[in-house]
Amino acid sequence: MPHQLAFATHNIHKLQEVAAKIGDTISLLSLNDLDFHKDIPETGATFKENASIKSHAVAEACQINCFADDSGLEVEALNGEPGVYSARYAGEPADSEANMDKLLQQLKGVANRNARFKTVISLLWNGQEYFFEGVAEGTIRQVRSGAKGFGYDPVFEPAGYHITFAEMTMEEKNAISHRAKAMEKLVAFLQGRAV
């Protein structure tokens, strides 16, 4: 009987990405599988706090080992903004085009374009909490380029490349993304325990 582990997400793409890496010693359940449809308010000031709020909400409601992730973009010249407000930087409802417009406007004439995507995962495993972090360093372009991906991908050029995340295939992005790096650390941890 494989260990059961919940991923506190409704995003099927994220779930499949982890499921593909995790192997069959763990059976991964989504919030839909658990019939969990409550909105979890992300009131934390950091990615770590938000990830922790989500994993605790699901683990407590469903009495199951669980992990949650929280991600966003931190721009050096903007003191780490938009950070935890990445999804709703230009206001509600969340709108990626408006968010990129606002970001490019804020950086108009600014020479320092350094930025990083960050993901933090909170895992609640047998009553203990563990954190895993992944970072993708890069720069913010002057204008958008590319149509793949989501969010800020068209304006983010990862370090060491001359294309944006939105010009990469999913496989290329998944090899270097903040989310993939955090997920790899989580999977390595689980493979050491769930046997």
CB of 195 to ligand IMP, least distance (A): 29
Nearer to ligand IMP, 16 or 25 (CB): 16
Question: Please, what is the minimum distance in Å from the beta carbon of residue 72 to ligand IMP?
Answer: 4
The dihedral through the CA atoms of 18, 86, 103, 77 has a sign that is: negative
* Residue at shortest CB range from ligand IMP: 151
Interaction site with ligand IMP (CB under 6 A):
70-73, 86-87, 117, 149-153, 165, 177
The answer to whether residue 70 is catalytic is yes
With respect to ligand IMP, which residue has the nearer C-beta, 59 or 73?
Answer: 73
User: Which residue among 70, 95, 101, 153 is the active-site one?
Assistant: 70
Say which residues have a Cβ less than 8 Å from residue 144's Cβ, sequence separation at least 6.
100, 154, 155, 164, 166
Non-local (6+) Cβ contacts of 24 within 8 A are 2
Which is nearer to ligand IMP, 68 or 124 (by Cβ)? 68
Q: Where are the alpha helices (DSSP H) in 36-138?
A: 47-62, 96-106
The residues, any chain, with a CB within 8 Å of residue 170's CB and separated by 6 or more, are 148, 149
Supply the minimum distance, in Å, between the C-beta of residue 87 and ligand IMP: 3
Q: Annotated catalytic sites, by residue?
A: 70
